[in-house]
Homo-oligomer: A and B are copies of this chain.
Amino acid sequence: MNDRLKRIWQDGETAHGGWLGLYDDYAASIMGDVGFDYLVVDMQHGSADYTQATRLLQSVSISASVPLVRVPWNDPSIIGRVLDAGALGIIVPMVNSAEEAAAAVQACRYAPEGARSWGPTRAARLHGDYQPTAVNDVVACIPMIETARAVEAIDEILAVAGVDAIYVGPADLSLTYWLPPAGDNEGPFVNALETIVDACTRHDVVPGVHANSSLAAERRSQGFRMITICSDDQALAQGAAAMLRDGTAGSR
């Protein structure tokens, strides 16, 4: 099993990832060749339904990037099914309390640590030897911190055993501070990031954040160690715009 993400974190390094919002498995293969530490299939705001997510996970699993899924909700059913399909980590939206964080952990781990149900048909085929204990170690459970309420409860959330990292959703976090839904903001938004990173340091949990390439340096300086710096739809738009600009330069 690909433990690249866990090793980066154990070494105190920073993981840089990509985001998959398209549902084309060939696009996922292309993203798999680029060299990200992890790739996240987005089932919340992305296009992929379950069958498509299964195919994206297959494409990513044969790359060197660790396949993660952002599930649509904190729901043991879909968490179990995407783990069965080969995800090696789960990003869980809108976790606002220790109870919700504990539920996410339960869904990600086999007994006795959790309550995940056994039946890893595709995962076992993709990742080879698939033993409950080893899998429990590799699979990353990553609640999203994306509300003011979650920031207030950050210490109790991070105290939940089995939370490997958290992942800040900046647009939703902004909305709860009455700010526009953007990747970056000022004032209470920056304070919240600081609060989160500080708490992560205290609890030895990896702080992660949704960003883009231009925000990456700032987020690293703020202490984040899991930073998504690219999404496939933006990469496509920017790549195509650059090619149009270059290809028509001097033509008119």
Contacts and interface: CB of A to CB of B under 8 A. Distances in A.
Contact of A175 (B35, B111, B239): B111
A240 to B, nearest CB: 4
Interface in A90-125: 93-94, 110-112, 115, 117-122, 125
A241 interface: yes
Contact of A45 (B55, B112, B117, B243): B117
Nearest to A236: B236
A111 to B, nearest CB: 4
Contacts of A30: 233, 236-237, 240
A230 interface: yes
A235 B73 CA distance: 32
Nearest to A239: B239
A247 B213 contact: yes
A172 B240 contact: no
A189 to B, nearest CB: 13
Copies of this protein chain in the complex: 6
A242 to B, nearest CB: 7
B27 A233 contact: yes
A107 to B, nearest CB: 10
A244 B211 CA distance: 12
A152 interface: no
A244 B213 contact: yes
Given A24-B27, A172-B111, A239-B234, A220 B132 contact: no
Interface string A1-24: 000000000000010101001111
Interface of A: 14, 16, 18, 21-24, 26-27, 29-31, 33-36, 44-47, 49-52, 54-55, 58, 62, 72-73, 75-78, 80-81, 84, 93-94, 110-112, 115, 117-122, 125, 132, 146-147, 169, 171-172, 175-176, 178, 180-181, 211-214, 216-217, 220, 227, 229-230, 232-251
